[in-house]
Amino acid sequence: MSARRERLSAVDTAWLRMDRPANLMMICGVLIFRERLAPAKVRKVLEKRFLAFKRFMDRPVESAGTNYWEAAPDFSIDDHLVVATLPGARGKTELQDFVSELMATPLPSEHPRWQFHLIADYEGGSALVARIHHCYADGIALVRVMLSMTDAGPGGPPAMPFAPHERSDDTVEATGGDDPLAQVLRPVGNVIDTARKLGTKLIEKGAGIWDDPAQAVALAGQGTALTAEIAKLALMGQDSTTRFKGAVNVPKRVAWAPALPLDEVKAVGRALGASVNDVLLACVAGALRDYLAQRGDAVDGMRIRALVPVNLRPLDQAWKLGNRFGLVFLELPLGLDNPVERLYAVRANMRALKDSYQPLLAMGLLAAMGAGPRVLQEALLVTLARNATAVMTNVPGPQQRLYLAGGAIDSLMFWVPQSGDIGMGVSIISYNGSVQFGLVTDAGLCADPERIVERFGHEFEKLLLTTLLSPWPEDGDLDPAVAQAAVAT
């Protein structure tokens, strides 16, 4: 009897096809515990709660040019839960090295493409590293899956049941209600159908539009918001050339920074008339600028772009698997030295995305690429990837302490994959009153991401100090020059 099969969606197919030895399409997460977790308890949680999502018992296979989900023969949890030991001091450096190696190691294709690695001796406690292929789901859905594995206390109840109708009074609020980009985007009715139609329309115009500016200009002349957005993407061009851009290699490096108090970030944002997301992204831009400047690179006037995922699924369906998100190009003003001026530039760039069709176009392109020939996907992927330096994700997580397998989650971090020749991934996640900043880089382009993440807190301190010391106008924004002078004195 042949194995049960179900065809992958076009978007999920696109993510499966994007796998490259130098850029694997895995979402990777790390959970830190002060207690030592028992492998048997972790196994039980995976069997009962993770595998409640039956898709994780399927593996993606290709037959006659079409990709399918196929029930894995002889499925065993032992193929997916690995107990590992760190070398040396078994501290943060060793854990970062371990995660770096995992992010460059493919998931076995003969099994469903996910694995959990339990480090039972990390700094006297434990660490749990999860790797899941992007073709199963996007980051929002996978955060929802991970939350469904947690409890609100050491012995329960469940913090986040995996289906909406199973919610109880003790349930932790789901992530996504504070999606920093979804708030500024125009809501569209049936976003999936709309996205697919837009992407198909764009593909039908021919991939040549990306290499022929005349076609893009003519398209913009048609006068609709949609055609103008297509033309804008086609005419965008590459961002500033930095040491972060170039041909990527297999080895990766990851690092994460000490957490920041979320209340302080919110206070700075309120004082400066900016969102939490604006503040955090301004700190990212400042950390990248300082890193480049310390290496003697010219940074004045520099601007780089980050591809930022935007959730396109209804919040009440966040528990469903699959990929339902779009992308926007966000410009980061690395060329501005004044931290307040840089913050206001980030805020302006975010607001400029309001009513943008970019997320729908991006999702439509993914759908069209997944449904079309590989050669078309390759051409569009290379072209879109060269216009950005990094992939940047900001996930608002639960603000209560959670427990998994009886252990309290002390902190957590995650990374999303980079496509094409993009060699940097920036991740921001809030949890239990703190904000964590993480980075993954191509080792050949940036071998020391820890030197960037250590600057993140310093950049926030600059904004905090400026907020406290600057004279405030009766109304309107703080003058960046006045703020800088106040801090200097």
The predicted structure's pLDDT at residue 369: 67
The predicted structure's pLDDT at residue 293: 96
Higher model confidence: residue 111 or residue 167?
111
Q: What is the pLDDT of residues 68-107, one digit of tens each?
A: 999 999 999 999 999 999 999 999 999 999 999 999 999 9
The predicted structure's pLDDT at residue 155: 87
Q: Over range 421-442, report the average pLDDT.
A: 94
Q: What is the pLDDT of residues 299-324, one digit of tens each?
A: 998 999 998 888 777 766 766 788 88
Q: In degrees rounded to 5, what are phi and psi of residue 360? A: -65, -40
What is the three-class DSSP state of 300? Answer: coil
Domain 5-166: assigned CATH number: 3.30.559.10
Q: What is the side-by-side strand order in the sheet with 5-7?
A: 5-7, 66-71, 58-63
Asked if pLDDT for residue 442 goes beyond 90, the answer is: yes
**Residue 170 pLDDT level (bands cut at 50, 70, 90):** very low
Q: How many helices (H) and strands (E) does the chain have?
A: 15, 16
The predicted structure's pLDDT at residue 376: 61
* CB-count burial class (<10 Å; 0-12, 13-18, 19+) for 225: exposed
The predicted structure's pLDDT at residue 266: 94
Residue that has been written with the tokens 């004082």 in this structure: 271
Give the span between the Cα atoms of 159 and 85, in whole angstroms. 29
Give the span between the Cα atoms of 350 and 344, in whole angstroms. 10
Q: In degrees rounded to 5, what are phi and psi of residue 334? A: -65, -20
The predicted structure's pLDDT at residue 201: 53
Residue that has been written with the tokens 């209600």 in this structure: 177
Q: What is the pLDDT of residues 266-290, one digit of tens each?
A: 999 999 999 999 999 999 999 999 9
Tell me the HSE value of 142 on the side-chain side, using a 13 A CA sphere: 25
**Residue 380 pLDDT level (bands cut at 50, 70, 90):** low
- Choice among 9-23, 161-175, 284-298, 451-465 with the minimum mean pLDDT: 161-175
Asked if pLDDT for residue 357 goes beyond 90, the answer is: no
Asked if pLDDT for residue 11 goes beyond 90, the answer is: no
Alpha-carbon 397 to chain mean position:
13
Share of the chain above pLDDT 90, in %: 54
Q: Element (H or E) spanning 327, and its range?
A: strand 325-332
User: Domain limits of the chain?
Assistant: 5-166
Question: What mean pLDDT value characterizes the chain?
Answer: 83
Higher model confidence: residue 375 or residue 238?
238
Give the span between the Cα atoms of 239 and 18, in whole angstroms. 22
The predicted structure's pLDDT at residue 252: 96
Do residues 80 and 117 lie in contact, with contact meaning Cβ atoms separated by under 8 Å? no
The predicted structure's pLDDT at residue 319: 67
Asked if pLDDT for residue 221 goes beyond 70, the answer is: no
The predicted structure's pLDDT at residue 332: 95
Q: What is the pLDDT of residues 111-150, one digit of tens each?
A: 999 999 999 889 999 999 999 999 999 888 888 899 899 9
Q: What is the pLDDT of residues 318-341, one digit of tens each?
A: 667 888 887 888 999 999 999 999
Residues comprising the chain, all counted: 489
394: which DSSP letter?
E
The predicted structure's pLDDT at residue 326: 78
Asked if pLDDT for residue 192 goes beyond 80, the answer is: no
> What are the residues facing 414 on neighbouring strands?
29
Share of the chain above pLDDT 70, in %: 78
Asked if pLDDT for residue 1 goes beyond 60, the answer is: no
Q: Over range 243-262, report the average pLDDT.
A: 94
**Residue 368 pLDDT level (bands cut at 50, 70, 90):** low
